Structure 1
Amino acid sequence: MQTRLAAEFLSTPDGQTADAILRRCVHCGFCTATCPTYQLLGDELDGPRGRIYLIKQVLEGAEPTRATQQHLDRCLTCRNCESTCPSGVEYGHLLDIGRKVVEARVQRPAGERAVRWLLREGLTSPLFGPAMRLGQAVRDVLPAPLRAKVPARREAGAWPQAPRPRRVLMLAGCVQPAMMPTINAATARVLDAAGIQTVVAPKAGCCGAIRFHLDDQVGALDDMRANIDAWWPWIEPTDGSPGVEAIVMNASGCGVMVKDYAHALRHDPAYADKARRISDLTRDLSELLPDLVPAWRQRLGDGLPASVPRRLVFHPPCTLQHGQKLRGGVERHLGELGFEVTLARQESHLCCGSAGTYSVLQPTLSRQLRDRKLGHLEAAAPQTIVSANIGCITHLQSGTATPVRHWVEVVDEALAASPARTPA
């Protein structure tokens, strides 16, 4: 694609990045075939190719409009188009640049600004936990739309305390500890069963994704720097002890963001090298499965306990299969443990409509995608739907009576029901 970026952008780091991305696009349109919003709306400007043209026009000097902003808003940032693109167009990074430029030039209505501010500040606030507990206490009397956003309270269970020869860091996350504390505790227990200790840096907070995708990229970078500072003593201990093996993510949305720290902070002289180290150390929990499964199989002995749901259908989050390019690992390795894991027979590559705060900001499109996804998942007649991201889990559960859980919770349940053995 030929470009003629305006001088105000061409000499900037964002402009140079955008120009390189735009020049890789060959207009083929393969991306439209796998774009969820294009499939729902049938509008070229609500597909990746159309949005690329809109961003190109703005960077070449055209004045963005409210319509431009809305077309970019309706993108889920699922990055399915990146998996489809034969030219390797980094659409996600281009969209980030386009949204930032448009946000600076197009005034949103006051109501939209207020909602986005509440999401940006509320979800990342220390007060989110108490607010969620209050919501869970009165969940039964909440209006249906609000009740769908408040999962029933679950007890996390014990966190392993014994030291192990191997250690990993884990990001607790901003909303997950309050909404579904079972996920973090289950992760610590299953790692402990394989001889790995899980540590959490108390000053680490939101990964930055919430602010970043709500057009507060400056605040997001501050979140990233704060996490790097909180993690660094565990990565390079001052007492001469070995650092942690990895930073483990059990929410794929956080994982794809932290793996992108190197890109986001590449121009920060104080943090660029550290950010690159953080990205290199970050692993989705599923990436550890080849190392974990042998220890779990020894713990399970003769196989899965009868009390554990065996027939699972896996919903791979977009942030896992498209953002991190991780496919097949969860199904394959859970199968080695004795679970019967399948994907939806159709459209397993499509987004469920959660997409961070998208289900709040674009509720109609989000519900349509959720119901479409659930139709395919439930066609497999699973005992449990499993996924790898809290947003997907909460969103899917709001539309079905079938249990929706993180896959690590199911593994934890199986290990807990098996005869206790000393971890490796």
Structure 2
Amino acid sequence: LIDTIEISAPFYEQWPPKTHTNIFIESANKGNEQIYGREVLNRFLRNVWRRPITTLEVDQFMALFTKYRPGFSTFEDTMVEVLATALASPEFLYLTQRASTDKTKSTSISELELASRLSVFLWSSIPDDELLKLAEQGKLRKPDVLAGQVKRMLADPRSRRFSQNFVEQWLGLDGLNSVTHIPAPMRDSIQEEPIAFFDEVLKQNRSIMDFIHSDYAVVNEQLAAHYGLTKIYGPHFRKVPITAQSNRGGILTVAAMLAMNSDGKDSNPLKRGVWMLKRILHDPPPSPPPNVPEVDLTNPEILKMTLKERIVDHRNKAACLSCHAKIDPWGIAFENYDALGIFRTSIKNKPVDATSELFNHQTLAGIDGVKRYLLAERQDQFSRAIVHKLTAYALGRPLSFGDRADIDSLTAQLRQHDD
């Protein structure tokens, strides 16, 4: 007797799937492989090379099709091999820019090049037909058209790739890959939270200062329980209001940041301080000098110290002072959060001391003090940092001294628009 049968298989809303019909389009010429092949190639090459295609280029690929055809049983199988060749071309793999005949003048990118860069930036993909047509018509660079296309692209589900890829690079979320102390059921939720938070700020056009502090969190049921938030159900992420008592808000207190900047057993103020300087303020500390003395964990006096006391003792050594004076105050301010980002008020029955002092004698009273100080004194620095990170991501290269004026201009525009 059969009680139940469970069948698992790929589900497609249509057959052949859209990924197939987008390439092998409907045509009255399907019966003629030479004519239909040219139609497929014209459309495919225009899309993946992101520009109009010449007759000579189509001829070259049709010659390849003719060469391959005897080795395959169907037209589609043969054409797949030909299309794979197109995808191996630098035209597809790289963002190209036409060469200038006048080496003394800078050259603006063309409309088609703009369409390519915009789609790679916001979709991590190729331009769609609408974007390509506007570029071919010379309309994409018009301010109102460009703004409209950016809004359309951000509303498209493909913009999720931008949120994920940028946030992973900006915050260094790849650091989670080497973290072993996160419970397996929570790992995906912890990794997704900062991306979902960024997506909320982006799609709702909120202030970038929400990254420093916000009166809401973006969580699912699992993370809500981890943070002590109640009456939140289901696996999907959503914006929920929070109070000061939750000790959350912004990205500084998300579990991903706190967990990947710990040593597995406890917090790691050094890692958290370096992360803060590098990712949030874009002011990375210098590399440590050679022969830096390690903390002697065999010393009974050292073992009696709290983590903060050990850090202060280590910082008092001459070789360590210059770097640690810059790093430690930021990291110590996170001491109320353990290795998994859970808020705590004591460690081994001793009250947590998360108070520190910056080099300018500014006192940071825990994470609340960090947020207050950043919002009161470091908004310009944070704005410039995020503009720098976003511009480098958009251009796909490290920024140089020559980019400084543009970063200054973009930062000023951002601040004028109230972030």
What TM-score results when the alignment is normalised by the length of structure 2? 0.24
What TM-score results when the alignment is normalised by the length of structure 1? 0.24
State the structure with more CA Rg: 2
